[in-house]
A and B are shown apart, each in its own frame.
Chain A
Amino acid sequence: MANNQCDDDDDASGCGLQLTCFSQPSDHDDNVTLHFHILRLHKQIYAWIGCNSAKFGHLYAAAPIPPSNTVGVTSLIGGSSDNTGSAIARRLVLKTGLNIVLACNIPKNTPILEANAEKMLVQKLISLGYTKPKI
């Protein structure tokens, strides 16, 4: 796993980037390798999930909608008939409280794989300290 950060403590705006990349075989199928690419910005997280390939996939943006606890999700690239990844983006907002931009090339109609990928990604976000503390 490569974990690198580019922080600048002198910048009052707090512009700092942390990049984390890792790969893991799927829990349910040894023939599937999931790749994850996480970029932490000051007010946002960009994440990419790759399934056996390095294709970019579909791109989604999700953000919390104050004052309620709802989350808005939209597809930016692709995703009009295949929303794999949009639900992941939505739940990442709930877990982190941050705006999320998610790219994902998980094939459609693979809910187990999608759930597996989300679980791995969330576990990594927790270990990196990017999620909201549980009250």
Chain B
Amino acid sequence: MEVSDPVFPIRNTMLSLNIKEHKTDIVISSYEDHFLVIATQIGSMGTILHARKEEGVSVDPTFSVSVVFGKRDEPMLVACARQLIEHISNSGLSKALVLSLGLRDHSTETLKGIVTAVIEKFAEDGKVLRSLIRKAILLECAVGSEECCRADPGDFKNFHGRDAREFHPITVMNTM
């Protein structure tokens, strides 16, 4: 469920699902340079992890994941953050991730459920964003035809000499 005011600079999504019969509330907030994902079953943020892609010259990306608050001896939590940051990176985004997990158990099933739900939500939001970017590009395009703008803006290709990354979501929404 999208809950943000369109002019507020942070895009928020809230969802609630049952994982192993425990109600799990998830909030995903998209900041300019970070995603914040909070998944809680216990009414608090629990363990907080920070994950980011390392800058490097290698073709294969490397990621840094660390526990900044809470349980430091639960490798499954680190694995969860690692999966999510890899997905973010593979989507072409350079944002870091702050992941908060307040869970009743740290079983594989629970963490898989959270990762799946979050990735599905990212994919949905990505489709909405690409659609908005495409519309913004059409508005800017002198020809005004979708034929001119076939390339997927998610690839950040140049459209008529302009980089699609110029179309920040807020700019996109303001042009609608």
Contact = CB atoms under 8 A, between A and B. Distances in A.
Nearest to B33: A55
B175 to A, nearest CB: 18
Interface string B23-64: 101010101111010101111110010100000000000000
B98 A56 contact: yes
A46 B69 contact: no
Given A37-B29, A56-B98, A76 B68 contact: yes
A96 interface: no
A114 B159 CA distance: 41
Interface string B66-97: 00110000000000000000000000000010
Interface of A, helix, strand, loop or mixed by DSSP: strand
A48 B10 contact: yes
A134 to B, nearest CB: 25
Contacts of B100: 46, 101
Given A17-B14, A23-B8, A61-B69, A43 B43 contact: yes
A53 B9 CA distance: 8
A23 B42 CA distance: 30
A76 B42 CA distance: 21
Contacts of B25: 6, 15-17
A122 interface: no
Contact of B5 (A1, A59, A74): A1
A14 B1 CA distance: 20
Contacts of A120: none
A26 interface: no
Interface in A1-25: 1-2, 4, 6, 8, 11, 13-17, 19, 21-23
B43 A13 contact: yes
A6 B3 CA distance: 11
A21 B23 CA distance: 24
A16 B41 CA distance: 10
Interface string B125-160: 000000000000000000000000000000000000
A85 interface: no
B69 A15 contact: no
Contacts of A4: 1, 3, 14
Interface of B: 1, 3-5, 7-10, 12, 14, 16, 23, 25, 27, 29, 31-34, 36, 38, 40-45, 48, 50, 68-69, 96, 98, 100, 102
The 4 closest A-B pairs by CB, nearest first: A42-B43, A54-B9, A56-B34, A54-B32
15 contacts: A2-B12, A8-B23, A16-B43, A21-B5, A23-B7, A39-B27, A43-B43, A46-B38, A54-B10, A55-B32, A56-B36, A76-B48, A76-B50, A99-B44, A101-B100
Given A16-B43, A39-B27, 7 more contacts: A2-B4, A8-B16, A41-B43, A48-B31, A56-B33, A76-B69, A77-B98
